[in-house]
Chain A
Amino acid sequence: MGELYNILSQDVRFVESLKACINCGTCTAICPAAEFYIYDPRTIATTVQTQEDDKIIELLESETIWYCGECMSCKTRCPRGNAPGLLVIALRALSQDLGYFTESEKGRQQLALKRAIGEKILSHGYCINPESIAPELHPEQGPVWEWEMEHIHEVMEKLGANYQGDGAGALRKIPQSDLDEIHRIFEVTGGMDRFERLEEFSKIKAGEMGVEFGEGMDNDYFRMIYTTNNQTHTRE
């Protein structure tokens, strides 16, 4: 048994996800990502099943494990009780913690997610807030959203939210003491550690690639990982 396989076996999501795959393809048949991307969740299960380190490293460095949308349609159908979607979650965790994620275009995007979503959880207690969905970065949200953002306070009030207010209600300002608790939770459970690794590994990669690295979203590396698509990922 390879060492990486050993580490994976400690992850409960892995234990739940893979108990002998028979290659029947039920998962791939129903997978939305398999329709769109050059992706076959079945092969992830059978590759990991070999328990061979070099094959697993190949996966951790690949684009493959980043195609899944974690919808879990696979889990509903597998006749052996496996779940490639859960397996992917375990592989993604390992790929990030060991730094392999920076080897793939889609993997590098994890830094963007950490900065956009991860940091928002710590700073505001939400995964997203209106500022996260800037119309320039999200043109698909449409002109109504653009209008709403221009008048966010009035619209939120009309719809009964408590935007940035004290007390209960939608989009309230979550008290600092609560945010402090969340912060401490991240510290003791390895959440901050994960965030730091994402930053460090990404910084090294940016250096290797000769791309300007900086904090936040206003730097070349962030822009690169957020928008680059080499157009080789999808089926015809």
Chain B
Amino acid sequence: MSKHVVVIGAGIAGLEAASVLDSMGHSITLIEKEDTPGGHVDRWHELFPNRRPGREVLEMLYEKLRDSIQFQYGKEITSIKPFSGKFIVTASDGWVTNADAVLMATGFDLFDARKKEEYGYGIYDHVITSADLEDIFRQGEGLNPRLGKAPQRIGFVHCVGSRDEKAGNIYCSKVCCVTAVKQAIEIKELYSAVEVYCFYMDLRMFGRHYEELYKEAQEKYNIQFIRGRLSEASENRQGGVVVKVEDTLLGKPLKITMDLLVLMSGMVAPPGIVKMRNKLGLTKEEDGFLSPLDAHARPNESEVPGLFMAGTSSGPKTITDTLNDARSAALAIDKYLEE
């Protein structure tokens, strides 16, 4: 007898897990709060480390979706109630269904860069986030429309909203460093004469080919890496962004004017999910993300039998890690449903 699995979130984790579970013969309902699937990856122009278009990954996932999967768009889940070995899942518009298992593929929110007040996002005209920059890359018109001219100097600020007590998040968001290196290269390809600076605390080039990307950024593109966390950005009369940072390797404070400042916004747990986590009585961890029952042995299970997690809902991950995690979750759910 096929069981009913509700997958919450039609980002890449939800899409992949849904496909796998569907191919195993289970009945899947995939619920998404936006009107279209794709999650954050839909917003990315090219992916690290090999610059593959984000769209390509999504197309691969969409192609695997069969008609057997039920899609529900524009519905935000407001409650998951365990009931007699099953779950009652309710959405914001009153829509309700029963499930034998629930998969939280609810992903992450981008850190709201306005909270880092000293960087002036939302106040100074030429301060944008890394996500905004991806939008600009996808539009294909470069920076001239926004800046009114070709940029001469651009700065990337690592760790915005991450590793920061004042922002309320002490953890590292993992993917921002390599994203900054990638975006710095993309900028240089658009504007070969532009000076590009990356202001970092540590350069987290942990993945395969990341270190090579960093080396390329230095050797081929002459991108300047300054080890210092940005303290402040302010705006001058011409709309330029004046930044203050210490070059800690030289032990000197610097003041530099940029045409554009890009803030590498980190990942945060969506507030709605934090609330739901509390309502379900799941383990509370300070970073707000869902906690697996055992990080090594049971990475997709929660304390509530039948309630699973996949992707960035349980912490910052790369796209490849997320897809692997989604497949792992599908396996775990299938095993659970058999018992």
A contact residues vs B (CB 8 Å cutoff): 22-31, 34-35, 40, 42-43, 76-81
Pick from B232, B247, B248: contact of A23, CB below 8 A: B248
Q: A24-B228, A79-B167 are in contact. List 11 more A-B contacts (CB 8 A).
A: A22-B163, A25-B228, A25-B253, A26-B229, A26-B230, A26-B231, A29-B228, A29-B246, A29-B254, A76-B118, A77-B166
Smallest beta-carbon distance A52→chain B, Å: 20
Q: List 20 A-B contacts (CB under 8 A).
A: A24-B201, A24-B228, A24-B229, A25-B227, A25-B247, A28-B246, A29-B228, A29-B231, A29-B232, A29-B245, A29-B254, A30-B244, A34-B253, A76-B118, A77-B166, A77-B232, A79-B163, A79-B165, A79-B167, A81-B166
* Complex: A77 Cα to B167 Cα, angstroms: 10
Closest B residue to A46 using CB positions: B248
Query: Are A42 and B248 CB-contacts (below 8 A) given A28-B253, A79-B163, A79-B164?
Result: yes
Report B-chain residues with C-beta under 8 Å of the C-beta of A76.
118
Report B-chain residues with C-beta under 8 Å of the C-beta of A78.
166
Pick from A22, A30, A35, A43: contact of B201, CB below 8 A: A22
Report A-chain residues with C-beta under 8 Å of the C-beta of B254.
29
Report B-chain residues with C-beta under 8 Å of the C-beta of A79.
159, 163-167, 229
Closest A residue to B227 using CB positions: A25
Report B-chain residues with C-beta under 8 Å of the C-beta of A34.
246, 253
Closest B residue to A30 using CB positions: B231
Q: Which 3 A-B pairs have the closest CB atoms?
A: A25-B246, A29-B231, A24-B229
Closest A residue to B251 using CB positions: A40
Smallest beta-carbon distance A235→chain B, Å: 8
CB pair A25 B248 closer than 8 Å: yes
Pick from B165, B201, B231: contact of A81, CB below 8 A: B165
Report B-chain residues with C-beta under 8 Å of the C-beta of A81.
165-166
* Complex: A35 Cα to B253 Cα, angstroms: 7
Pick from A25, A40, A43, A80: contact of B245, CB below 8 A: A25
Report A-chain residues with C-beta under 8 Å of the C-beta of B118.
76-77
CB pair B165 A29 closer than 8 Å: no
Smallest beta-carbon distance A88→chain B, Å: 17
Closest B residue to A41 using CB positions: B246
Smallest beta-carbon distance B251→chain A, Å: 5
Closest A residue to B249 using CB positions: A25
Counting chain B CB atoms within 10 Å of each CB, which of A23, A25, A76 scores highest? Answer: A25
Query: Are A30 and B232 CB-contacts (below 8 A) given A77-B118, A79-B165?
Result: yes
* Complex: A25 Cα to B254 Cα, angstroms: 11
Closest A residue to B254 using CB positions: A29
Residue-by-residue, is B159-178 near A (CB-CB < 8 Å gives 1, otherwise 0)? Answer: 10001111100000000000
CB pair B248 A31 closer than 8 Å: no
CB pair A29 B229 closer than 8 Å: yes
Report A-chain residues with C-beta under 8 Å of the C-beta of B253.
25, 28-29, 31, 34-35
Residue-by-residue, is B214-251 near A (CB-CB < 8 Å gives 1, otherwise 0)? Answer: 00000000000001111110000000000011111001
Smallest beta-carbon distance B127→chain A, Å: 16
* Complex: A22 Cα to B254 Cα, angstroms: 19
Report A-chain residues with C-beta under 8 Å of the C-beta of B164.
79
Smallest beta-carbon distance B131→chain A, Å: 21
Report B-chain residues with C-beta under 8 Å of the C-beta of A28.
246, 248, 251, 253
